[in-house]
Structure 1
């Protein structure tokens, strides 16, 4: 076990938080701003990268921090270390309604690939990097799936997703097509690509976007029912209308309606 071995408890239903139990000298890393509360005796420190120890000095730390910039995350992460004599607890909260998914990386082949904003916290030693897609289609047209995060190690990691979470195990060769925003995470054996929606009418007026993710087994996939981008677009669409402001629903048809002078 190269990663710190932490215990945890999930609290809540739709607005969950995870309470992590730390033995003396154990450490958990988390995204900046995810802290909910912590007990006395826990020391908080802001660091470059993920603190996994595989960076190779200053250059390695700068490289890791630069990779985080590519995923739209902060340059910094925060560590929480139990400096006391007994067990201490620190809690991290979900950023919006949904579920926290605990993943034991040692049970998932030592690596999972997840959406760039899904990572919440992990045991110290878990490496948080980026996963570039091999295909140009996935790279240029993937939307939320362009650059994904990879979590590597043998410890616990916690990822967050919106709405209800569905976990599906794909058999070898089994194919699942998912809206790019609904894909949360997958194990290393799943082949991932982006395909265009067939049919001009479907692409223009379907309201589901022009692309979807094609996942091919074997492996495990986590799918969310309510991506934050979809929730945000619905809130924006329902906001009070002010003359001169656009209020399209997000599909190409909504944009065409605005161009034609529709209200």
Structure 2
């Protein structure tokens, strides 16, 4: 078996040439008989395109793939697989057409044929003065590339339809396809900035040219809640992962999160393990929740274990 581009000898069954990165005829193996196919024709795991029944979404938005999607995800000319359990790995077979971009410091391996460069972001001046990254890394195929965050958790795959936006906690996005716009929005309200453990900014991702794919890393296990209009849910600070823009975020005290109870109710909340302040999310829309509360990145060698009290505020962290 030889490479059609450079004529190098190839091992049986490979998908890309190890010398030049050219795709080898044959491509990925066919999915098992009876499996489902998505709207682009690629293999889709069961329920990946299940509709949101009896909800505001109808069939316009596919359900998010939580808990490390088990089957290959096909979008454009790339195939994405999630491998591993405790510390999952996003393994991507890139084609020649659609690039991807990714968060810094998460690259695990790549084929020599995959080209890395920089993707400039919109609003570079605003991002610079806000202290956010102005450039992120972009990868162009063909070839294989993989990513992993150094923490126990699960991968969430969100398929974004054209024009659809989701908002994500900073430093928890892994990879996005090149047709997904990456922007940011300011957190509204001083209480949210000081006590929500979110900081001053929230990442925004919008599909701008057809269907796009966004992959997130959630700490621990990840769950999704759908809130009706006006419905509220109080969540431990640091536990929210992503949300629809229609979901409002505020803060409340543990005493204010109950119907009465006064000081005894607040003490009961503390005994239950609650923080003094909680994030309150008000629908309509979806919200993703992680079972391990998020801890901002720290310098190497810094203490990592233990919870973080949101009553002890390090103002420097707000602007890091």
> Shift of the alpha carbon at 1:235?
5.2
Q: Give SS of 2:144's match.
A: strand
Q: Which moved more, 1:195-204 or 1:182-191?
A: 195-204
Q: Quick check: which one's helix share is greater? A: 1
Q: Is residue 111–residue 188 contact of structure 1 (8 Å, CA) maintained in 2?
A: yes
Counterparts in 2 of 1:211 and 1:12: CA distance versus 1, 3 Å: same
From 203, 206, 210, the counterpart of 1:149? 203
By percentage of residues, which structure has more strand?
Answer: 1
**Could you say what secondary structure the match of 2:155 adopts?**
strand
User: Which runs of structure 1 show a deviation greater than 6 angstroms over 4 or more consecutive aligned residues?
Assistant: none
Given candidates 171, 185, 198, the residue that maps to 1:117 is: 171
Q: TM-score, normalised by structure 1?
A: 0.72
Are residues 1:197 and 2:254 paired?
yes
CA distance, structure 2, for counterparts of residue 11 and residue 210 of structure 1: 38
Q: Matched residue of 1:143: which SS? A: coil
* Deviating more after overlay: 205-214 vs 6-15: 205-214
Choose which of 141, 147, 152 in structure 2 pairs with 1:92.
147
Equivalent of residue 88 in structure 2, options 1, 4, 16: 16
Aligned counterparts of 2:184 and 2:263: Cα–Cα separation in 1: 34
Higher CA-based Rg? 2
Residue pair 2:152, 2:219 contacting (<8 A) in 1 also: yes
- Rate the CA distance shift 1:181–1:37 in 2: closer, same or farther, 3 A: same
**Structure 1 residues 127, 190: closer, same or farther in 2, change over 3 A?**
same
1:122, distance to aligned residue in structure 2 (A): 0.3
Question: Residue 113 of structure 2 aligns with which residue?
Answer: 41
> Gapped runs of 5+ residues in structure 2?
1-39, 41-74, 256-261, 313-320
Paired residues of 1:66 and 1:75 also in contact (CA < 8 A): no
2:63 corresponds to which residue?
none
**Once the 2 structures are TM-superposed, how far is the Cα of residue 253 of structure 1 from its aligned partner?**
10
- Bigger relative contact order, structure 1 or 2, given CA contacts below 8 A and separation 6+? 1
Do structure 1's residue 105 and structure 2's residue 160 form an aligned pair? Answer: yes
| Cα shift readout 1:7-59 (whole Å, capped 9, x = no counterpart) | 3111112210111222213210001111111223210113443xxxxx3xxxx
